[in-house]
Amino acid sequence: MVINHIFKEVPIGLCHFDLELRYTYINDWLAQLNGISPENHIGCTIREVLPDVAKHVEQLFQQVIDSGEPHLNGEVTAETPAQPGILRTFRHSYIPVKSENGSVTGLSCVVEEITDLRKAQNDLIQAKEKADESNRAKSRFLSTVSHELRTPMNAILGFAQILGINSSEPLSENQKSYIDHILKSGNHMMELIDDVLELNKIEEGKLSIHFDQIAVDKIIDDSVQLIRVLAQEKGVEILNKIASDDPPMLWTDGTRLTQVLLNLLSNAVKYNRHGGTVTISFEEISERMLRINVADTGIGIPEDKQQYLFEPFERLGRESGEIEGTGMGLAVTQRLIKLLNGNVGYQSNENKGSTFWIDVPINCERNTSAMSGSPS
């Protein structure tokens, strides 16, 4: 019969017991798992064939027979005659077999070995725990070192400033330029320390985010104002293209979004050319998302370096150039925008310019009179 053929060939263990828990049927697959021929099962109890397995399942068998209810997808770890001394894990289901009048006449079992699956899962859990612990250790280390560095750096910067402005002991022009170097490098180092601390805070989930209704035009205007001085110094024009009479309200954290915009705007200015432009605009890409574009006419990013753009400390070949940076801005930006339930992306052509965009959730209640509460 076809069904017998399927039972014989299917790669899963099947067997049947009578009410005394003696095998009346077993397929080849299960007999092989047990390490005993099918014939040597028939008529024997599970305790006689698989004493270690029996310790775990006999009670369950009885329960299924007494209740008439199946027991599905249980798990048992035990030794078998096929591999003495080795613990193996099986997933098993027991189904009561009933006569026409509803009384239980026996028990059918479906058995599957999942030793390798469980081992792989346990290995994965252990590897993850190990990785999490070393990540926590790295975060603690970075946080401690950064805090410890701030105190002496503050002293170095403070005394360098005092030397520079001390009129009773004026410095020579040479000495003044040395002090400028100390201040410039010291400030750069402080920026680096602050960025490391910020990134660490984000990765440890310690950054607090306060969502609220924020007007997109206002936040763009404020960010552009903050970047104007840098743009003037670099001879870069900022074009603020807010092309809507009814700009949507965002559902975001204003401080963090400003931080993200400032990162993108300052990069667009820093990596630009004298006489270049930075254009900021936005568009609604769906009912729920607004895209803010920051496009520059700058030096662009070489294609082979773009994959490292959001990695901390990566400056993509600009580390030896004149443009200052820590390589942390985009790493922080990417993590922040994720916390704001948005996205960041880019498109760049070397020597032509780059466009960075961020998607920010729109406050879906913008057209109602409600001015507080969470979005629908």
Residues at the contact surface with ligand ADP, assessed by CB under 6 A = 263, 267-268, 271, 296, 298-301, 309, 314-316, 318, 325-331, 354
CB of 120 to ligand ADP, least distance (A): 37
Q: Whose Cβ is closer to ligand ADP: residue 193's or residue 309's?
A: 309
Vertex 220, ends 364 and 301: CA angle to 5°? 110
Residue 38 contacts residue 31 (beta carbons within 8 Å): yes
* Tokens 């936005």 belong to residue: 282
DSSP 199-219: HHHHHTT------EEEEHHHH
* The pair of three-digit structure tokens given for residue 232, joined into one six-digit string: 């003037």
What's the min distance (Å) between Cβ of 294 and ligand ADP?
8
Is residue 216 a contact partner of residue 250, using CB atoms and an 8 Å limit? yes
Query: In this complex, which beta carbon is closest to ligand ADP, that of residue 34 or of residue 272?
Result: 272
Q: Which two tokens stand for residue 350?
A: 């070397």
316 neighbors 308 (Cβ within 8 angstroms): yes
Instruction: Find the shortest distance in angstroms from Cβ 263 to ligand ADP.
Output: 6
Q: Pull the structure tokens for residue 209.
A: 């985010």
Structure tokens at 228: 């104007």
Q: For residues 273 and 288, which CB has a smaller minimum distance to ligand ADP in the complex? A: 273
Min dist CB 237 to ligand ADP, Å, is 15
Shortest Å distance, C-beta 309 to ligand ADP:
5
User: What is the nearest approach in angstroms of ligand ADP to the Cβ of residue 305?
Assistant: 7
Is the CB of 220 or the CB of 299 nearer to ligand ADP?
299
Taking CA atoms, 64 is separated from 14, 77, 97, 109, 154, in Å, by 17, 20, 10, 11, 74
Nearer to ligand ADP, 25 or 271 (CB): 271
Dihedral of the CA atoms 36, 37, 43, 45 (nearest 10)?
10
Please name the residue ranges forming H helices in 50-112.
51-67
Residue that has been written with the tokens 């201040």 in this structure: 183
- The least distance separating ligand ADP from the CB of residue 354, rounded to whole angstroms, comes to 4
